[in-house]
Amino acid sequence: MKKIFIFMMFSVVSLFAFEHINIMNIDEKIKDKNVIVDFYATWCPPCKIMTKNLTKYEEVKNQNVTIYKVDVDKDPELAQKFGIRTIPTLIYFKDGKVVKQEVGVRSVPELQSNVKKLF
């Protein structure tokens, strides 16, 4: 029982390891930066896997990349603004402009490859 509780606590904590952005502050947060925004939901199992992969990527990523998260249930306006219909979805921004959008879970090597190509 303790193992299950600890696992559940880790899963919930890992969802909050990255700064969350919303419709009010996204423009400010992505301006003049290389950014990955993860659109997810807390109830979504693939989203939890993506969060784990982003956490691992965070440990090895280049300093010039910032990762933010958007909970589509808490900020549906932002999800709608970017046409998010499936989660998890990653959007890569360079200097405030969308350069790539991907649906589904990505591995750490895939994240590294995308960042190398896009930024």
95 is catalytic: no
Determine the residue type at 53: N
Determine the residue type at 62: N
Half-sphere exposure of 64 (CA within 13 A, CB side): 10
At residue 67, the 3 state secondary structure works out as strand
Phi, psi dihedral angles at 35 (to 5 degrees): -135, 140
| Identified catalytic residue from 23, 41, 44, 99 | 44
| Identified catalytic residue from 21, 47, 84, 111 | 47
10 is catalytic: no
What span, in angstroms and rounded, lies between the C-alpha atoms of 23 and 29? Answer: 11
Catalytic residues: 44, 47
